[in-house]
Each structure stands twice: as structure tokens, then as C-alpha cells.
Structure 1
């Protein structure tokens, strides 16, 4: 390069912090810039871009279990001017169809076209599940647009024997699942994305590391930068049709005319600017997994693999002095789908056999399909573990047996269906008890979860409908009451079974209930039960009676003390 006039020194190309020459705007292979965008702790970062070329149509076939079709397939959505094509398969593309066409025009080009409604929401959800499945290769896996995945495989390739073998294994698994894909590996996610979608048919999927990949990347069209179609057309009008054409231009005039978007995209592709990947699901701290050389399908094989995972997790928890409260088992099938089952415990546990017994209660929810190729066990909730000897603990071995029974009932029936009754301060017979769940302990965040009270639904009958329910008086702060034992205080005998809600009856010389006349031998009462005077009045006062029928059955009735004087059957005595 000739020196500028008036000086005897040659011109020196100075690079700005972004790695570009300050004098002419051309890229400079600044070592610091490349390392900042393409290295992590001295290790070259590598990304895999998975382009699912026919994702909507492939997913429609998988969802509807259709393998072969008699004609080309197109998915449609309502658009401007009528119904338009949303996605097409390979046969429809060969007939000249493309997304965005009107359905009427598409049928004119391809009379045998099979048009089905598209479901973008289901496709997005399936793509998110596929990203979680792809975490078998790296924890850093995420969706990339509506038809792709991005995987940060930095430091993971040696587990499968290198990048080439990783790509081969990934392509084979996606192909067996019926998905059409195209893969690429690069130093940045943007470079891998552009190379997967716009490289020539003869080029390989793996880009070299560092600036050696620039020669290949600069030959790509501008669409490889993920620019809008309008921006690409504006750049083409001034003669810029490839990434290399854009890279050779001064940056300041480009930014002034077309904005900074094309330059930022270029920096991310070449590794000058960072291009991070946000994983679809963060990897939990307490997780173990096991991959199988051959898919497993039998219940015995699943139990054996789960027991090994529980033992591995128990060793890690024992070293940290913790026990599990919540466990999730994820089974990754050969068709790229995942199935999850979860269990919970009332106290911290790390007994592999006991946890396996809890999982057995839910094994019927697992459908192995054509086989399970990988299992993951994740402790979503842990707590500090304090060892106790069953014989010396309060209650002895019976206390531990009760806790085990409680765990089995909760996992079989559900958390909302199991609890213990707790008395309430009220006069209403149907409200004297509430169902309380077990109190959850500390979680991994170190905070103590407050107890959750699951109350039984309040019984509001037709007899209570005439009384307003507005709160009166307003609750006022009061001093805490002295502690006293909470027991049911009953003035008279109570029935064994309460009807919910109380059923209306007619009482005269006999009892009319559910269309049947029942003669009454004797009637004893009344026992007056008033509404709670310290709360807002809900319903009128009730007078309760004990009645014995001619056949010996005993009933518990009440009559409302109001203008109506209605009778209700509230309980059945033993």
C-alpha cells in the first residue's frame, strides 16, 4: 500500500473495538475480536443449526399418523384475499407451489393437491419439545425460529466421537422420526444458520474454525444474514447481492442508508459480535441420565434403569446432605417425543427402593412406543436430610410406615385429594372441619413454603339463600387469642353421615323424602344452632331434631327459624 502524500510512513490499518478498519471500514482479522465472539474460556465455540425444511408438513404427518399420500400436501391458513398456502411438502414444491400462494391458484397448478388446515400453535409446541429432546447432545439447546433448532455443542463433541459423528447421529435419529432436516456446524449460531440453509449442494456441513470459514461465508447470498426481504431487495438495487459484497463496503455509509441491522447481522455471522443461545429449559442441578445402546420397551427394563438412576442420584444427594421432595422422570423415545411422570414425598427421602415403589404407582402412564433410548431423572425439589433411626424416633416404626402410606396415597390419588381434617371455630355442622394438606418444607432456594390449606367447599343451602352475605362488620385487628386445644365441641349426638348439601323434605304425620313417604315413630328435639355471632351472618337459625322411622332408621333433620319454616334432612345416624 502506497503511503499517503506528505508522509514517509506507510498507512497503518487501525481496528476499532468491533474488529473493523477505521479508515476504510473493511474487516480486520483482529485476534481479540474473534476470541471475544468465538471462544469460551480458551475453547472455540461451536454451534449446530438444525433446519427442519418441511417441519409443518412433516409434523402434520406425524400428528395424524400418515406415512404416504396420493398427492402433494399443502397446509393452509386464512390470509389476505382468501385462503393461502402456509407450508408445502416436496411434491408440492416440485409442482411449482410455494407458501403464500392462494389456494385457488395452487389447485390450478396442481389438481391433485391435498389441502389441510395448518396448526402453527401445535407446531411451535412440538418444536419446543424437540428442543428438549435435543438436550441429549448438549444442555444448550433452543428453538431457532419456527422451523429450526440451535445447539451450542462447545465441549460436547468428544462424547460422540467428533462433530461429524454427532451430525450423523442427529440426522439419522431425525430421519427415523420422519423429519426432513439439513444440518450445519459453525463458530457462531448465525454462521451455522446461514450455512445450513444457503450453502451449495456440494459443500459439506462443517465450517472450519476461525477466520478460515470467512471465505465460505462471504460467498453466501444476503438472505443468509436473516435480513428482511425488503432490505435484501434494497441492497440488491445498489449491487450488493452476497455477504462478501456487503463486507467490502465502508460501514458508515451503509449504516446511514440501510441502518445498523445488516452490519449487526454481519458481525454475528463472522464472530465479531457475540451470538448467545438461550436454552429452551435450564439444566437443573440435581439430574442424572442414562442412554441405552438399544431402545428398551419392557417394564422390567424400565424399572432396572430407573433403579440405577435412583442409586446414582442418591449418592450425590448423600454427599450434599440432602433428600428429594419432588422427582421427575423423563423418558425420551425413538420418535423424538418425551414422556414425564412425577412423584412427591412428605419428607426428604433418598431411599432408592422406596422411591422406585412410588414410581411404580404411575408406570401405567408410560407408553414406550417403539422404544425408549434415554431416561433422565431430575430432583425438582430437595431439602436438608436428617437421618433418624426408626426404632428410636417418636412413634417408632409406625410413624415411618404412616409417612410411607401417605406418600403412596398422594402419588396415587393426587396432592389435592389427601390431607387430614382440622377443626374450625364455627357452629355450622357442615363447616366444622377443613381438609389440610401436608406442609411443604424448605426448597432449594432456602425459603420456607407457607402451608396451603385446602378447605372443603362451604355448604350453602337453599335455606341460606334469603340472607345477604355482605361482610359486616369489617374485620378489625385483634389481639392474638391464647392457645387452646382444637377439638369439636358438640352439645348433642351427631350423625355418622352428613348430606351435602342438606336435602329438602316435607314433615307432617310422616316424612316425604325423594318421592317416598316414611312414617315417623318419634321425634326428639329441638337443638338450636345459631349462626356464628362473630362473623357475618350466613343463613338463619336452625332447630335440629332426631327422628326415628318405623323401620328403625334414624335421621337428623332441621327446621329453619324464619318465615318459611322449611324442613331439611341433614344427616343419617348409625
Structure 2
């Protein structure tokens, strides 16, 4: 026989027991030493709450095939709202029987209860003799009040729920605090709604099968039907999906899933189905149907407004569609963190004007310039590289510069383009916020936090190479001797 132990009050005590241990007379709270004295062959295992939480999460996921409103009741319970969910099983008893079969295949021991409120169902499961046990006959422990209140009730001779139900509630509230509220919820006089662990997705579809299907292709065909239904719902709502989640509920309780994301809202079932197939082919561990799928669920947890398109108009959108579909296919095959794009930021400092973001996201950041900005190189050096420059004092253009021990004679130049520092960032302490690795940066502070003005020049040397240089600081005002840097290279 097996027991689970924890260290409590400087002693190792029993906290969970197998049926054989209970039948042998052991109880929770007993020290392990006393238990071994009674049963020398006892097998004791240290309790792992993390593993129990993972097991409970798996069971919660399996229960989503029966109701969209599922919530864990730690550490060993699950509550489902099955109102309106019994039509596929004929009755509540049919749903309960099917749920019991699914969870038992996962190796779980079940105690089921039904009730008009979560408290009533939980009390029948924990203290009753069956899903329809008489609530009035249950012990007062079914109220799950504190041990002190439960002990006081028993000492007063109030041992069952029926002993409390006939008492004035005002008296119980004055003597035992929230006991009257617990009693009302248990008897169905007040309903406390279930708060699901995950909110119901705006658009979802569910398909159950009388007999499990054993081929992944059949499951994908069903998924295509669900996508068509979801697309019709999204069209009615003038929305498109940005994230689609498919879950395949296996007969043994496992729930493999697929997730795809799109760079813009879509509701075309064909586009989303191609992404699901791409994702399925990219899995290192393919989905195994096992003994078959008895339920498939599609969720669209992220939606955005999408106005209906009219044929013959919106040519620009249609031109951008192939690129968006290509990005979505690459993300589905390689992963969202492998494909990125450049997004503009609201800053006129070149190295701070863009950010690398996942390609599937659609940021709503403003562009830094209302008009076309001056010509910028496609390749920026990070950090800018220091150079030695020959120029006319105090603010003349560069005539010759040395970079990486190689001299370049300037044949043509254009500029300067003056960029002031972001003084408002400096005032709030941007020197620390924007500081980079001091070992890799040639300056004590990054350039965008130094508070100095930059004069940028586009130059071309006699060999035809083009560079983007800048003078850092105004002579006489911000620094005695301005430094020069090469910030980018033109193709």
C-alpha cells in the first residue's frame, strides 16, 4: 500500500493515502513513523505539488471537450458548467458517463457530483454517495468551513446539513460569520458563477463523433468544415482572425493541438487550412491519433475588424496579399520567433527609429516622419565606428578620413543634415535607460543618450564607395573637439 507525505510541523506526515491504506486504518495527518510502526511494509512517496498541478491541468484540458466553461478547483477538483452541453449525449447522465470514461483512461480515480451550483456539485462529489446524493443528509464538513467552525457545529449537535437548514440564517451569520452564505450556496439559494480558467473565445467551433476517427486526414477534413463555419461567423461580425487554435481530443484523454497566426486578419478557410497543413508538416513530433479522435475543437482567440471586400476595388490590398500569405506560411513552418520585420518607431535618432518585431505582429506605432525622410543607408553600423577625419574648422565638410586603418579621399559629399539630441529623454535619465555594454561601446555613453548634436554627411570616395558619416557635437558649444563616426554604408 502507498501513501504520500509532506513535512508539516517539524514532522513528516501523511497527506494522501491509497484506498488500501485507508482500509488499513491510516488517516491523513498521521506521522510517517507511527504509520510504519503499524504497517512496516508501507511505501511512502514525497508529495510533488508541481506534478499534481500538471496532472490537474491535463485533466482540465480534457474536460474542455464537454464544456467551454471549465475551472480547476485546486488541488484535486474540476468544476464544469454543462448547461446546454448535454444534447450530444442525450442527458446529463450520458455526459457524465462519457466524461468518466475519458478521465479513467488517463489513470484518474473519479468522484463525480451534479448540482445546481458549483458548491452543491462539489459537496456531492466529495461527501456524497453519488452524483444525485441528498444534500440535506451530507455532513457539515460539506460546507468546507474552517476547522474551528466545523468543530463548534459538531459540539453543538449540528452534524448534518439538515440540522442547519431549519435554523434562522441571521442567527448562523451572527455566530459563525459566512456560514449562512456557504449554506445558501450549497442549497442552491444563491448561485456563484464559475470563473473559467480561460475565457471563452469570441469564435469557436466543436465537432463530436459517435465513433472515434483514426486518421489525421479525416480530422483535418473536419477542421476545414469548422473553419468554414468560423469564417461565416466572422463575416457576420465584420471581423477576421489573427490566431487560430485547433485541438484534437483523443479517446485516451490526450489533447494534441495546432496553433497558427497570421500577419493580418483573415477569414478565408482555404488560407487558414494551408497554414494548418504547413504547421502539421513542420512538427518534429507528428500528431498521433492513437485510438482515434472523438472530438475536435477550433478556437479563434484573437480577432480584429475586417470590412467586407468588394470585387474590383482594393487593388493595393490584393497586391500585398501574396506577400502576407508567404510570411504567414514561413511563420507556420519555421516558428513565430524565426521570421521578423522592421517596424518604425517615433524617434528621429537613426539607430532608435526602427525596431525588429515578429513578422506576424501588426504594431500600431506611428511613423517617425510625415514626409519622405532624407536618404538613409540600408546598412547601419551598431555601434557607429570612430574615424579620423580631415575637415575645415569649425564646421566644414569631411575631405579625407581613415577607417579601419584605410584612408579614403572624399570625391563628393552632400550635407550636412543636422539631427538634435532627444533632450526630453536626457532630462528623465536616459543615460542609464539607453546605456549599452560599456565594454563594446567606444564612448562612455551611447550616442543617442549623450545629448550632442549630429551633422550627417553622405560622402563618396574616389573608389566609388559611399558612406554615411556624422560629426558628433558642435565645436565650442557642446565640445571642444567634435568626434567623427561612420554610421552606415550605402549599397
TM-score scaled by length of structure 2: 0.71
Q: Does 1:217 align with 2:135?
A: yes
Cα 1:356/1:156, change in 2 over 3 Å:
closer
Cα 1:96/1:163, change in 2 over 3 Å:
same
1:300 to 190, 205, 217: 217
1:488 to 374, 382, 389: 374
Q: Does 1:452 align with 2:365?
A: yes
Offset from partner CA, 1:457-476 (integer Å, 9 cap, x none): xxxxxxxxxxxxxxxxxxxx
Match in the other structure for 1:376: 297
Check the 8 A contact 1:504/1:569 in 2, yes or no: yes
Where does the alignment leave 5 or more consecutive residues of structure 2 unmatched? 390-400, 424-449, 474-478
Match in the other structure for 1:116: 46
Q: Does 1:524 align with 2:445?
A: no
2:59 to 93, 118, 130: 130
Q: Does 1:353 align with 2:266?
A: no
- Aligned counterparts of 1:222 and 1:396: Cα–Cα separation in 2: 66
- Aligned counterparts of 2:180 and 2:370: Cα–Cα separation in 1: 74
- Aligned counterparts of 1:130 and 1:195: Cα–Cα separation in 2: 20
- Aligned counterparts of 2:208 and 2:78: Cα–Cα separation in 1: 21
- Aligned counterparts of 2:168 and 2:353: Cα–Cα separation in 1: 81
1:180 to 101, 105, 109: 109
Aligned-residue CA RMSD in angstroms?
A: 4.6
- Aligned counterparts of 1:247 and 1:425: Cα–Cα separation in 2: 68
Offset from partner CA, 1:99-137 (integer Å, 9 cap, x none): 4344555555555534334225x6446535533532322
Structure having the higher Rg: 1
- Aligned counterparts of 1:424 and 1:273: Cα–Cα separation in 2: 53
- Aligned counterparts of 1:436 and 1:396: Cα–Cα separation in 2: 22
Structure 1 residues 68-467: aligned runs within 5 Å: 72-76=2-6, 78-94=7-23, 96-106=25-35, 108=37, 109-110=39-40, 112-119=42-49, 123-124=52-53, 126-127=55-56, 130-200=59-129, 205-207=130-132, 216-249=134-167, 254-256=172-174, 258-259=175-176, 261-295=178-212, 299-363=216-280, 364-365=282-283, 368-369=287-288, 370=290, 372-380=293-301, 381-389=303-311, 392-395=313-316, 397-409=318-330, 414=336, 418-419=340-341, 422=344, 426=348, 430-431=351-352, 433=354, 451-452=364-365
Aligned residue for 1:161, secondary structure, equals: coil
Aligned residue for 1:165, secondary structure, equals: helix
Give the CA deviation at 1:74.
1.5
- Aligned counterparts of 2:197 and 2:11: Cα–Cα separation in 1: 35
Where does the alignment leave 5 or more consecutive residues of structure 1 unmatched? 1-70, 208-212, 442-449, 456-482
- Aligned counterparts of 1:453 and 1:339: Cα–Cα separation in 2: 40
Give the CA deviation at 1:387.
2.0
Check the 8 A contact 2:410/2:462 in 1, yes or no: no
Aligned residue for 1:185, secondary structure, equals: coil
- Aligned counterparts of 2:171 and 2:354: Cα–Cα separation in 1: 77
Aligned residue for 1:146, secondary structure, equals: coil
Cα 1:558/1:107, change in 2 over 3 Å:
farther
- Aligned counterparts of 1:316 and 1:147: Cα–Cα separation in 2: 37
Cα 1:522/1:416, change in 2 over 3 Å:
closer
Offset from partner CA, 1:281-318 (integer Å, 9 cap, x none): 34334211112345556543343222121122223334
Cα 1:429/1:187, change in 2 over 3 Å:
closer
Cα 1:408/1:563, change in 2 over 3 Å:
farther
Match in the other structure for 2:396: none
Aligned residue for 1:361, secondary structure, equals: helix
Check the 8 A contact 2:458/2:466 in 1, yes or no: no
Check the 8 A contact 1:327/1:377 in 2, yes or no: yes
Greater mean alpha carbon deviation, residues 259-268 or residues 156-165: 259-268
Check the 8 A contact 1:528/1:541 in 2, yes or no: no
Cα 1:99/1:548, change in 2 over 3 Å:
farther
Give the CA deviation at 1:242.
2.3
Give the CA deviation at 1:568.
6.2
Aligned residue for 1:401, secondary structure, equals: helix
- Aligned counterparts of 2:354 and 2:120: Cα–Cα separation in 1: 65
Aligned residue for 2:315, secondary structure, equals: coil
Give the CA deviation at 1:547.
9.6
Give the CA deviation at 1:345.
3.6
Offset from partner CA, 1:338-381 (integer Å, 9 cap, x none): 45544344444322111111223332457535454322212231
Check the 8 A contact 1:218/1:242 in 2, yes or no: yes
Give the CA deviation at 1:544.
7.4
Offset from partner CA, 1:238-264 (integer Å, 9 cap, x none): 3232233334556665555x4254444
Give the CA deviation at 1:541.
5.2
- Aligned counterparts of 1:150 and 1:431: Cα–Cα separation in 2: 50
Match in the other structure for 2:443: none
Check the 8 A contact 2:420/2:453 in 1, yes or no: no
